[in-house]
Amino acid sequence: VNKRTQAAYREMSSVKFAWATPGDLATICYLAQYEDPPGVAHKIYLVHALVKGKGIQIILDGTESVFDMLDPEYKLILGRLRLLQ
């Protein structure tokens, strides 16, 4: 986690949740990229959410070499976040 928190993220896009209402600022998700210290490229979903008055952060991280394989599973997880509300 320390390596990840010190990395410089490059935001690729924001992700909209189908279940989010317009103007909903309680949950935001970004798809970003970063390189770890050995120089391995990663793609990462960063989710910041407010659930029942408490802030949470969810990190879904994978190296670029396997991210396309992980992405469908990550999207399934992200799609189920509405269950937290």
Pairwise CA distance, residues 48 & 52, whole Å: 13
Tens of pLDDT, residues 73-82: 998 888 776 6
Q: What is the pLDDT of residue 30?
A: 86
Output the average pLDDT for the chain.
Answer: 77
Q: What is the pLDDT of residue 2?
A: 47
Pairwise CA distance, residues 73 & 57, whole Å: 18
Provide the percentage of residues in the chain whose pLDDT is more than 70. Answer: 69
Tens of pLDDT, residues 40-70: 999 999 888 776 677 888 899 999 999 999 9
Pairwise CA distance, residues 48 & 74, whole Å: 15
Pairwise CA distance, residues 35 & 46, whole Å: 15
Instruction: Supply the DSSP symbol for 66.
Output: H
Evaluate if pTM is beyond 0.85. Answer: no
**Sequence-separated (6 or more) residues with CB below 8 Å from residue 67:** 42, 43
